[in-house]
Amino acid sequence: MNAIISASELVKELAGVNPPVLLDIRWQLSTAKAAGAPPFDGRAEYAAGHLPGAVFVDLDRELASAPGAGGRHPLPDVAEFGAAMRRAGVSSGRPVVVYDGGQGWAAARAWWLLRWTGHPNVRVLDGGLPAWDAPLSTDVPAPAEGDFRPAPGAAGLLDADGAAALARSGVLFDARAGERYRGEVEPIDPVGGHIPGAVSAPTTDNVAADGRFLPAEELRARFKTLGVTEGGEVGVYCGSGVSGAHEVLALAVAGIPASLYAGSWSEWSADPQRPVAVGPDPQ
C-alpha cells in the first residue's frame, strides 16, 4: 500500500463505502515563527477551515509526551495515544488519512506513530492542505468512538545506542538542515553537530516546491547516492523525531524500510557523555 495519497484520490475514497478517518495535524516548530509573531496555533488554523469531517489532533499533547530526558518530543504514552486516536474515531478496520498545513512533518509524525502501533492502513495527504482544492469546513465533527488498540513494534524504532550502532553497520540519515548537521548553527538544542557516522540527508530535499514528494524513482536514486544498498539497514533521526518521520515516509514512498530514532538530536545532545561530530563528513 502506498504511504501517501493525492487529493484527487482522497476525494474518491471519501465518497466510497469505507471512507477514511481524517486527522488534521497542523503544527509548526516553535523557532520557525517570524520574530515578534505570535506562536503558531494549530487549533485556531483548524477552526478557520479544515477538510470536511477532519478531527484536529494536537502534536505536542497527543503525539508526544512532555519534553525531558527523552528529547523535545518523546514518544507518547501508548495508552494515552490509543485513547486520543479512539476519540478521533480511529478504528483498525477503517483507513486513516492524515494531513497538515503543507510541510508534511507533523502529518508524517502521526503516520509513523499509527504505523508503529499497528494500524494497517494509514496514509499522508501528499502536499497537505494546500493540495486540497475542494471546499473547507468550519464544522467540528463529533465522531463515534473508534476501536483502535495500539500494539507497538509494527515499525522500526531506534534508541540512542541503536542509532549509534546503525551509523556504523548501516546507514543513519540526519534529516535536519545541513548547517545544523555540520554544527554551524544550533537554534534549539544544547550543542550543534551530528551523531558520528550519520549521513546528512535533509528531508526538505525529498519534496518539490509545492510540498509534494518527488517521484518514487527519484527518491530511490537520491537515497542510493547517499549510501542505501539493497537489503541494507536504514535509520533516520532529526531534531526531535518529527521531520525524521517525514524522511522515513519519503523512504517508504521509495520502497525502502527505515527505522526512526524518536529521541533524535534533542535526546542525544542532552547527554554530554555522547560523542558529537561536526563538519560536512560523517566521521
Catalytically active residues, by annotation: 238
CB-CB neighbours of 135 under 10 Å: 8
CA atoms within 13 A on the CB side of 72: 18
Q: How far apart are CA 158 and CA 229, in angstroms?
A: 20
E strands in 127-229 = 157-158, 171-174, 199-200
**Residue 106 CB-density burial (10 A; 0-12 exposed, 13-18 middle, 19+ buried):** buried
**Element at 87 (helix H, strand E):** helix 78-87
Give residue for cell 560536512.
280
Q: How far apart are CA 160 and CA 170, in angstroms?
A: 15
CA quadruple 149, 125, 71, 272: dihedral, nearest 10: 130
CB-CB neighbours of 98 under 10 Å: 28
